[in-house]
Homo-oligomer: A and B are copies of this chain.
């Protein structure tokens, strides 16, 4: 287990989530957003292409992590949770049209006696699919399902001193990334070479602070592509005289981002 915050910080986050659940009349919350999973437990694996999440109940101490069997070790290594609260599902739940991971979650809820409760789901979060909703309704016909889409996200908006420290460090990385980008853009050079230098600076960071990979690729379109909001570089194109390049970059420190935008 190697957490980037004290366990007490995660527990304080959980306390605030439970407080918000109580205010909204939600007894059990199913969290699907990977960033929210990370925020509450530290879980940090690239496993979100399969269904996974947390179950949080007002009267249960820790979140219950549920996910694919092969990711359970990752959960043991990156979260503060007791191993009993890490609940892996078998691989035949993976992309099986006859057997859905939300049935596995419903089983946990039944086992805990929570199946008829007021249940909050992140209903418009893109890790909670239409199928998740239908399976949950079918499996737990007596539950009252509530939309709790941004419940955790609103709590995340107020940063702790420890988080602000990482964001300040990310800002230092960001300065370095932006400088690298500006220095790398030169007539005759491939756009992909400038982008490669930007990525290198993002991941390696500065001598003081190591970086991290970004949640969004470097936005660095040239010329007519600057008229669009979310385009990257053009791999095979070389910079030409008179080019305008839009730079929307960031520095990252332990998943905490600091973005910056410039035109060159």
- A2: nearest chain-B partner, CB-CB: B234
Minimum CB–CB distance from A87 to chain B (whole Å) comes to 16
Minimum CB–CB distance from A152 to chain B (whole Å) comes to 15
**Please, how many residues of chain A have a CB less than 8 angstroms from a CB on the other chain?**
63
Chain B residues, Cβ within 8 Å of A139: none
Q: Which of A44, A195, A234 neighbours the largest number of chain B CB atoms within 10 Å of its CB?
A: A195
Chain B residues, Cβ within 8 Å of A134: 123, 133
Q: Which of A190, A217, A231 neighbours the largest number of chain B CB atoms within 10 Å of its CB?
A: A231
Q: Pick the contact of A78 from B127, B130, B231 — CB < 8 Å?
A: B231
Alpha-carbon separation in the docked complex, A205 to B191 (Å): 12
Tell me the number of copies of this protein.
2
Contact B131 A129 (CB under 8 A): no
Q: A103-111, A155-163, A207-215: which one contacts chain B?
A: A207-215
A124 on interface, CB distance cutoff 8 Å:
yes
Contact A77 B195 (CB under 8 A): no
Chain B residues, Cβ within 8 Å of A231: 44-46, 74, 77-78
Chain B residues, Cβ within 8 Å of A195: 203-204, 213
Chain B residues, Cβ within 8 Å of A125: 129
**Restricting to A217-264, which residues have a CB under 8 Å from any CB of B?**
217, 219, 224-225, 227-232, 234-236, 254
Q: Which of A127, A216, A230, A231 neighbours the largest number of chain B CB atoms within 10 Å of its CB?
A: A230
Contact B126 A127 (CB under 8 A): yes
Of all A-B residue pairs in the complex, the 8 with the closest CB atoms, nearest first, are A130-B133, A124-B131, A196-B204, A74-B228, A196-B203, A210-B235, A73-B228, A192-B210
Residues of A within 8 A of B (CB): 2, 44-49, 70-71, 73-74, 76-78, 97, 100, 121, 123-134, 147, 149, 190, 192-193, 195-197, 199-205, 210-213, 216-217, 219, 224-225, 227-232, 234-236, 254
